[in-house]
Structure 1
């Protein structure tokens, strides 16, 4: 679809966009969109343009009045102009489905005199983080989430081994799926092995398979996960739990790409991409001798830090909405503003998994599809978060009366939010009028 033209070259390039299998647009050096391909129109909609009207990429994609770099974001067009070669950035675009993360590549186009003429912008939705809300499984807008997703989109299309590092419950299996779906292996299997709690025989049997009669109970031959992962991705979850004496067999597999089924002498080969995950401190384990250094360096090609919920506190409202859609199974549930504020005030040692459990308890306790602060507070009474607060309670000698505790609470909120009374009232779950009344009743400070 040709939108505008500066020359016949633009017309030809506009038609050339159909050769890309992802959404693509042709952009002039002054940010004007000149053409789009069919994939773009299917993903992001038609651009309703008048012939005399200029539509700029920053306005169409972001709703900005100025280029991205002037709005506080990285601008791939400006970067490509400066560097003279392809540039890539992870952006959040406005789409018919809402705000989505998009992996953007900007390709500069030169004429025969090496003068910069146009740019081809390729827009690739991030697997599991883009699409309709029914398909999205990863959400967030925090800097920590953006950094994590940027590394996933960077390494996804390659064949590099990835090591996902972070606390339990941070979504490492989802990240492994996103990496697999962004790769050329996405049409083959993603095979997962949970490494913790496996006996020696079971670990080898699960990983390499076995032949009939290899051990007691092996009544028939069975393919292992390495064999099933041929052409696809092998995800080893909690690799830090693999016993030291078994690590050498795993290392041999990774170095040679070959293996033998348990009980067999036949050597077999498997071509797979490796993704590993752990919540353990692998460098410390290497130092103490419980994890092989050669295996560590083999798997730690591209490490990705999986941010904890403490690092992603501003993502809690979005995560809660997504989890409720998953848990509701077709029934629509909503959180009141004060309920969201209460969720955001908690610390989640179990990260997203703990937040999910909390919301599931709230659904059981709620009589309606509206989850208010009271329901969330009741659900918190049985949670690990509540237990942590109890264990951190002050000694009896430090206890104060309710009026004093409320005064300290309001004073702390006011100080933390720069005396923004509207914000403080919102967090405290009271009206602005009630807040003024309570502040007036506070004792004067010296």
Structure 2
């Protein structure tokens, strides 16, 4: 935003009313000199806003943000003399909310800063397709959200990194819904388990007669994402043979449906996600270096719940409000304390499982700790031999195709009553565990044993 230094105060105030987002004009002492209607709606306040200090209204503070543990955009703007952008947490009628703050200095005819124009835009707009929203106020979450909000308006390729269950798909939806492509499709490609032929057909589509069973032309997901966002989930699971085809698509922007000789132009914003350490995979030759550099232009790490423990109760309350049959229920103080003490290696997905179970067990208004605690039946020692933790970790590190070590523990894996707990013990994600179990069923195992396998 550029303001003519020769503009009068009245002209600047008039400019505020043309800004659709909440905006104020304030002096160098944080005092509000003017506010547009959007700001007054965002921060309804008894009495006159003019003359009040900005941090009193938006934060409820009695001192500037930098004296209350936050970064102050006005202070930064004074020091640099340039526009400042940062993410703040404001008190709004909807509760505490992340807001992108942009501060522009207004200079007089001598070049001295006389005023500041502050423009605020919510960083927590709900995804219109799923009705979900990113929730959190912890420093780790706020840092992640700030990166997402900065990347969203551009077309830069974003790589989302984080453990299973940290909300990578929701972060990808956030990037899409806050982008200029928000009114166009958001298309998800689940990369896990795709064979080379299926990968090409799903991604690029195929022509009629391209292969046996291709009775009609089928558009691919690249075509479906035209004008919108293509989200490649678990891109680290794509085999090397298929990575070169993806790289060609990204670099050239062209693709050919299976069975076609005509190249087509692709138009999508690329977002990728993985729980795997791609940088290490590159060093070990398991992931193409050139593809890694193309997809990781803007990496964003999604913190796990252990890194944002202060958000757990807030997340639990949000999940509770979204789940069916949760009306008129809340967590007791003891339940809140129990939630904050848990590790949740399965992250938000595991937290949701605990809450879904509690809803079914709770017959009253308050959910207590015993409603949240899973009851894990023990497996009979006469049926299954004990498996030391060291062996579990060795088992988790075995690659697919599975070797004899995993087959030796087929009975334990199939009879374990809680796959979430088993995945935690193995140190792997539930998705990886189920993929291993599915691969085990394809090994040379008697039919009667396969029927016992849970997967």
TM-score by length of 1: 0.80
SS of the counterpart of 1:368? Answer: coil
Distance 1:195 1:257 in 2: 20
Contact kept in structure 1, 2:354 and 2:373, CA below 8 Å? no
Structure 1 position 67 matched with structure 2 position 64: yes
Deviations 1:89-126 (A, max 9, x none): 11000001111000111111112321212111111101
Partner Cα distance (1:83, 1:19) in 2: 27
Residue of structure 2 in register with 1:31 after alignment: 30
Cα displacement (A) at 1:211: 1.3
Contact 2:99 2:124 in 1 (8 A): no
| Distance (whole Å) between structure 2 residues aligned to residue 50 and residue 282 of structure 1 | 55
> 1:437 is matched with which residue?
none
Structure 2 CA distance for aligned equivalents of residues 340 and 188 of structure 1: 40
Rounded to whole Å, the distance in 1 between the matches of 2:425 and 2:154 is 47
Aligned counterpart, 1:411? none
| 1:378 CA drift (Å) | 4.8
Q: Which residue of 2 aligns with 1:198?
A: 194
Change (3 A) 1:360 1:107: same
Contact residue 190 and residue 229 of structure 1 kept, 8 A: yes
Residue equivalent to 2:323: 327
Q: Which moved more, 1:33-42 or 1:280-289?
A: 33-42
Deviation at 1:332, TM superposition (A): 3.0
> Does the 8 Å contact 1:58/1:65 carry over to 2?
yes
Q: Which residue of structure 2 aligns with residue 110 of structure 1?
A: 107
What residue in structure 2 maps to residue 251 of structure 1? 247
Q: Aligned residue pairs: how many?
A: 382
Mapped contact 1:101–1:129 kept (Cα < 8 A): no
- TM-score normalised according to structure 2 size: 0.79
Map 1:78-117 onto structure 2 (within 5 A). 78-117=75-114
Q: Report matched runs for 1:289-438 at 5 Å.
A: 289-328=285-324, 331-378=327-374
Moved more, 249-258 or 149-158: 149-158
**1:383 shift after superposition:** 5.9
* Equivalent residue, structure 2, for 1:226: 222
The RMSD of aligned alpha carbons is 2.6
The reply to whether residue 121 of structure 1 matches residue 108 of structure 2 is no
Give the Cα separation in 1 of the matches to 2:423 and 2:265.
Answer: 49
Unpaired segments of 5 or more residues in structure 1? 1-6, 392-446
Aligned to 1:14: 13
After superposition, give the CA deviation of every residue in 1:333-355 in whole Å (9 maximum; x if it has no partner): 21111112112222212110011
**C-alpha spacing 1:114/1:275, structure 2 compared with 1 (3 Å):** same
Q: Which runs of 5+ in 2 are unaligned?
A: 1-5, 378-416, 427-455
